[in-house]
Every structure is written in structure tokens, then in C-alpha cells.
Chains A and B, each alone.
Chain A
Amino acid sequence: MFSEFLQYLFTGITIGATYALVALGFTIIYNASHVINFAQGEFLMIGGMGTVAFMGLGIPMFFAIILAVLLACLVGIALQRLAIAPAKNADVVTLIIITIGASIFIRGIAQVVWGKDYHVVPPFSGDEPIRLGGAVLNSQSLWVLGIGAVLVIALILFFTRTLIGRAILGTSMNKLAAQLVGVKTQMVLMLAFGLSALLGSVAGVTVAPITFTAYDIGILLALKGFVAAAMGGLGSGLGAVVGGILLGVVEAMTAGYISSEYKDAVAFSMILLVLFFMPRGLFGGRTVERV
């Protein structure tokens, strides 16, 4: 009974950590540019599929991962430069459709270059499971949680301790004021997209040994990340992490105790309920609308 619960909890936290990283990616881009990047999931796909492809060329796994992450960062920066920057005055809906177009484009290219097959990425450290309180914990889950925690801490340090991090924060608070004190905001936006791609691709490759990877895994992961980010409150880093873990755990519990067919429905009902009562998510700040 308890071991069952623990099992679902492990599963939920593992997948939730992935959602949290996707949500953080959304948050960074949202803070820097107020764009919701629906191509966020494609970074995870590039992380996983890129690693598979580079390993296929005979490159050792560690370097293959680094190359895949670099590739994702390049795609992220290109996305900002070539698609988002030229459309800076567009409506919210128009920007949504541009990023959706970008995600279809990236998926289409991946499908041509890497094919339509599902691939398995080998676990980072063997596939010996760990037994804990009657439940089985995948060793890869520890990698997901560990790398997730390291990334979150690194992000916190980056945004509070480094000049570049503070420049990004400053730009998100007031772009004009940031420009006035000498922040190159175009640079900051590129950096935000690159950083977001880095988070996404690392999440994509660490979770790939558990979930498999293919050219079309991005869209659903992006939506889940968006749910997590909105639940936590768009723009809030803490909200993204809490929202992600919460979403993962609720999904796993629903799949375990109620019905696996309706696990997504429960996730989407939950976000509706949260938004009904807290229209800015759990940790979203209050803003005053100007006329």
C-alpha cells in the first residue's frame, strides 16, 4: 500500500522535474521578452535525438550530449534572431503562431534528418534499480533529479550573482531603463533563448533513457511545461519548479489510482481550477494594469 504510493511518488517527481525544467525554460524567455515559446519542447527533442545521432557517429556519450546541447542552444539563438526579433511589434496571437510555426519547422527538419523512429538513450550509469521502502527507483531518476537540482541552483546563482544574469533580470523588469544603463537588450534576449534551450535540451537528454525519444515528443512536453509554468505563475522561477513537480506528481497519482487514460485530463482540470481561484497562478505577482 505505502510502497505503491511511494512508487507513484518517485515516478511523479522524476517526470515532474522534467516538467519543471521545461517550465523554467518558458519562464526565462517569458521574463526576457513576454513571449510564450511553443517551440520549447523541440529543445528537449534536439537534446535527446541529437545525442542519439551523435552517438551513432561513434562519438562517446558524454561528448555527444555536449554537442546535442550546443546544437539546441544554436537553434534557440537562431529562433530568437531570425523569427522573434523581426516580429517584435506583433500581437500575442501572432507571436504564438510564429513559435508554433517554428516548432513545426524544427520537427519537420528533425523528421527528415533523423527519421521517424523511436530511439533509446542508454542510462547514464547502468540500469541497476535502487530499492527504497518497497518501491523501485530507477537510477536514471536520480540523474534527472540531481541534474535538475544543479541546474536550478546554478540558475539562482546566475541571476543573483553575475552581471549578465542581473542584466537579464533588469531587462525583464524594464527594457527601456535597462537600455539606458547600458544593457544590450538584444544580446540579453539572445542569451535568454540560448539559456532556455540549454535547460530544455539537458532535460531532454536526461529523461530520454526513461521515456524514449523521437522527432515528435516536443509538442506534448511543451504543453505540459506551459501548464506547469502557468500553474506556478508565469515569470516566477519558484512557481515553475513547484508547478512542474506538482503536475508530475498529480499525473502519476491519477494514472496509478484513478485511470491512466484520464491523467492528462486531470492535469488540465487542475490548471483550470488553479486559474479560476488564482488567475495569476500560485506564485504569480500582482500587477496593476495601465490604461
Chain B
Amino acid sequence: MIEIDANNTLLSIRDLVVEYSSAGEVIHAVNGVSLELEKGRSLGLVGETGAGKTTIAKSILRILPSPQGRVKGGEILFCGEDILQRPESRMLEIRGEKISMIFQDPMTALNPTMTVGEQVAEVVRLHSDAGGADAQKVALRMLKRVGIMADRYHDYPYQLSGGMKQRVVIAMALVFKPELLLADEPTTALDVTIQAQILEVIRRYKNKFGTSMILITHDLGIVAENCDTVAVIYAGRIVEAGTRDDVFDKPAHPYTVGLFQSLPGYSKGQKRLRPIMGLPPDPRQAPAGCSFRPRCPRAKEGCGEADIPERVLSPTHSCRCLYPEVH
């Protein structure tokens, strides 16, 4: 385990295991994930579809689909409090006030039959003593902060573009200055110029209020520009973690290396890309040994036997590989 300053830790996840059951089958979504996040910092959680990124975020907020999704083990310490052990009444306080989440598709978070201003005001009323007019005032101020002017207060979601809707969702998520923001692919559905605007809004807010963030994305460029630390997740396991510079300058796990090499533009002038061969494993079959082994160019004997232990590469950098890339 990498050494961290315990006093400054906001979130600490230890050995989290999450399963879904569907039609009699068990899907192993998260297989023993440990993560640390310090106050005021941003962690980029990177991985491909189905790697378990969103499941981790939903576990933190305890909003896994019930009864299919279950946390089978581990702990999630938020400010030292194991939120997996707390009653739902406590979670109602934590959600929105201490921890908020932004989803990829803003429409999953917006009510189509309510004006956007009222939706923000509703959040204010639910979580504070502010009444009608006061809540409206807070909502207006918050909307303005994310770049939505007062004349849009009475608009319905359908009257706003995707970027504007995402701004409303951000306003709702940040109105109580949460300590932790879970941003799950917040700009994936948006065009790049709008993406730049939204990331700028989040960045400015974070800097002002010292909010911590877990940014879930498949886009390494977004991580490079917005995160202090990075965790690369594959088949429900963190295969590499470190500071941004550790992972970008010295990617150690063959999967991380493969992700970079797959990017057009990683090695300029090279005509053929270097994709990762094959596909991620079937999450229904609990993999023995390294789950990346079938696709790994470096796999050798021993990779398929036992779980791969964490290997500390530097005080801030670790990976789960027997034969990591040496820099």
C-alpha cells in the first residue's frame, strides 16, 4: 500500500467487492478495489466500458440498483466514517450535501416536467431550511455561477442544449458545496468546445471551494488536464495507480501502456495504431490470476496462477503486474 497522509484523507476505499446478480448469474463488477483520495485533490478513474468505474461511484453513494447490485465486502471510509455501515437516514444527509454525483447523460438527473430553476430550488429546499423565495434566490445564484442566466430559470430541460442541461446538473450537484464530487463521464456526450466550457466550470468551482473530485472517464486527455492522481481500472481491479505524472510519464502496467498506444496521436507519424488485441474478460467468470493476461503481450507463466499482488514502484506509484514496463 502506498503511504498517504491519513489526516488529509477524505475518502478511503478498502478491498471493495461488488456483484450484480442477473438471471441466476453473478457478475463480478468490482473485485477488491482500494483507493485513496486526499482533500482538495482530483482522482481520475480511467478504464473501458464495463470495467467497474460507475459501479464504484454508485457504491460510494449507495445507489446501486437494488436488489441486483450488492456490496459483498470491503469498506468505504468518508472522513473516517464507514458509509457502508450507516443507516439510510444518514445517507440522505450525505448525498447532495457531502457527496454529489454528475452523470454522463444530464437527462437521467433532470425532471422533464419541471423548470430547471425550480429543480435547483427544490434541492435547496430539501437540504436546508430555506423556503420558497430564499431557495429561488440561492438557485438563481448557483445557476449564474455555472453560466446560466436568470432568463433561463423558467425553461424546461427540453428547451436547453446538452451543454446547458449539464450546467444545470452541475448547479444542483454543487449547490451545497459538497466535499466530494463524483463526475461520471460528465462531458462524454458533449462536443469538444462545450466540453471545454463544462470542464472549466468544474475547475473554477473546485479551485474556489477546495472540492475533491473523482473524475470517471475513458479519455486520457481529460485526466491529464484535470486530475492530480490516476487509477487505471481493468475488469474490476485497479491495475495501476499513481500521480498523474507517474502514470503518464512511466506507465507500468501493460494495459495502461496499451491504452496510450491505442490513441491516435500517441506516436506521431506512425501509420498503424497499436491496439490492444482481444476483448475484456467475461465478468461472469471470476478470473484466476491476472485478468489482462489473455490480451497481454508480456504475459508469462505465473500470470495465470494466483491474484497478482500490488507492486510498489515508488512512494506514489504502484501496479498489479509481475512484469511491469521498466522506465
A binds B: no
- A residues neighboring B (CB under 8 Å): none
- B residues neighboring A (CB under 8 Å): none
